[in-house]
Amino acid sequence: MKQRRHFAKRLLLGFCLTAAAAIAQAADPAPAATPAPTGLSALNEAFDSMDGFAIKKGYRCVRAEGELDLHEMKEGAAALKTTWEASEDQYGIMEIVKKVPETDITGARFELWVKPLNDNGVAWGVLFYDADGKLVEDQRIFILSKDNWHQIQSTVGTPMPKGLGTYYKAGDGDPKRVTKVVLRVALKKMAEPGMALWDGFRVTK
């Protein structure tokens, strides 16, 4: 009889603990996930974390690396610090690639902060591609002085002023169906590895 009573008490205690845990979980639910940005805001990149983009080796690039810099950012909590290297006797292109939901960028304005950490980078650019992989637009500025923050900015469909040493190409892609943004830079031929900070990429209307 005593064993039965002891077993019943343990069973009741277990039931009570299970019920209490369920009530506590219902009263303190897990925080809701932050909704993904939509529209033009989906193209923005603060470089406060390493999520949301990829650093890739482009033409003749043998090394492309990036890490967060928590001390020399232009804005926000951090900047992206990149290092890239070309194969011998070649130019080398590094790309920062961000894939986004299909977005209409017609008439939008973009801006990007860049701080070269040496003189080895050239042809700093912003490129947009549509859902079919076709180039929508390629805008570049060739020379940026080292150790200073520079803002690259323009309006989609409008070239940057030519006096800045710029390049513009309109592709066959559809600006109403953009799914990829590429921030790119080349390394001067036969140069040592390039180094730069990137921050505050935005697309707005």
- Could you read off the pLDDT of 113-122 as tens digits, one per residue? 999 999 999 9
Cα(184)–Cα(181) distance, rounded to whole angstroms? 10
Q: Are 179 and 99 in contact (CB under 8 A)?
A: yes
34: confidence class by pLDDT, cuts 50, 70, 90: low
Other CB atoms within 10 A of residue 93 CB = 21
Question: 8 Cβ partners below 8 Å, 6+ apart?
Answer: none
Average the pLDDT over 49-67 and give the result. 96
Residue spans of the domains in the chain: they are 1-32, 39-204
Residue type, 46: A
Cα(3)–Cα(11) distance, rounded to whole angstroms? 12
Residues 140-192 pLDDT 10s: 999 999 999 999 999 999 999 887 799 999 999 999 999 999 999 999 887 78
**pLDDT of 128 higher than 80:** yes
Cα(42)–Cα(202) distance, rounded to whole angstroms? 9
Q: Right CATH number for 39-204 from 2.60.120.430, 1.10.10.60, 3.40.50.300, 3.30.43.10?
A: 2.60.120.430
Instruction: Answer yes or no: pTM beyond 0.85.
Output: no
Q: Choose among 39, 43, 42: nearest CA to 183.
A: 43
